[in-house]
Amino acid sequence: MSTATVPNIATKTKVIQARNVSKVFTRDAFQVKALDNVSIEIAGGDFVALMGPSGSGKTTLLNMIAAIDRPTAGELLVLGQNIFTFSDSQSAKWRNEHIGYVFQTFNLIPVLTAFENVELPLLLTKLNSQQRRDHVMTALKLVGLEDRVHHLPKQLSGGQEQRVAIARAIVSDPTLLLADEPTGDLDSNSATEVLEILRRLNQDFHKTVIMVTHDPHAASYAHVTRHLEKGMLLPA
């Protein structure tokens, strides 16, 4: 078990506390242990990279933190709350408020413009139209896409799509930013742009970033790198 420590971060409270978390998937007659007794603590403001080979449990752990998957055993406190006691609708509301999730394949809605894609999570809030517009424009400016607001995903490059996805993840000002191989589908220039944005969000806006990656270059942007193998977290 290790605590990631980052200099110049104001908040040092533990935002994630995983204790002996295990996850077993049952596929037909087979049982696959995706996570095996994982314990980890991450402090607010950290930028943590989770590395490991395919099938090592990185994404599973990320999904647990985002409350989109549940462990078979163990306890996981996120922002001080045991998120697995939540109902489905409570989990959804909690994710909307506290989690920004960036996918490897961007996962933008093809019929919506960049602006509308970013606005999507805000439709679930009580913000009015003008407030939503302000939030969306702020997020798009932050990723450098304020001039692409009316573009559909198919009219954007891969790197731009991922930046829109990051804007969508941060538009509701979440505490945690989770990224599942955010540079996996990008060329090196675009990947660098995306990683710079993540670094800026961490350093300037004090977002806690947890990034799953295979890429050592991407991991170098994180302050702490943790390795998983066969579902087990290797010592720091």
Chain residues binding another protein by CB under 8 A are: 63, 66, 68-69, 88-89, 92-93, 95-97, 101, 103, 107, 109-112, 115-116, 119-121, 123-124, 168
Least distance in angstroms from the C-beta of 10 to another protein? 27
**What CA–CA distance (Å, rounded) separates 57 from 167?**
26
| Cβ-based nearer residue to another protein, 66 or 224 | 66
Least distance in angstroms from the C-beta of 5 to another protein? 29
Least distance in angstroms from the C-beta of 116 to another protein? 5
**What CA–CA distance (Å, rounded) separates 148 from 76?**
39
| Cβ-based nearer residue to another protein, 107 or 157 | 107
- Torsion on CA atoms 91, 96, 99, 100, rounded to nearest 10: 140
C-alpha 129 chain-centroid distance: 26
| Cβ-based nearer residue to another protein, 7 or 110 | 110
Nearest C-alpha neighbor of 116 from the set 99, 96, 132, 93: 132
| Cβ-based nearer residue to another protein, 120 or 137 | 120
Which SS3 state, helix, strand or coil, does residue 68 take? coil
Least distance in angstroms from the C-beta of 69 to another protein? 5
Q: For residue 177, how many other CB atoms are within 10 A of its CB?
A: 23
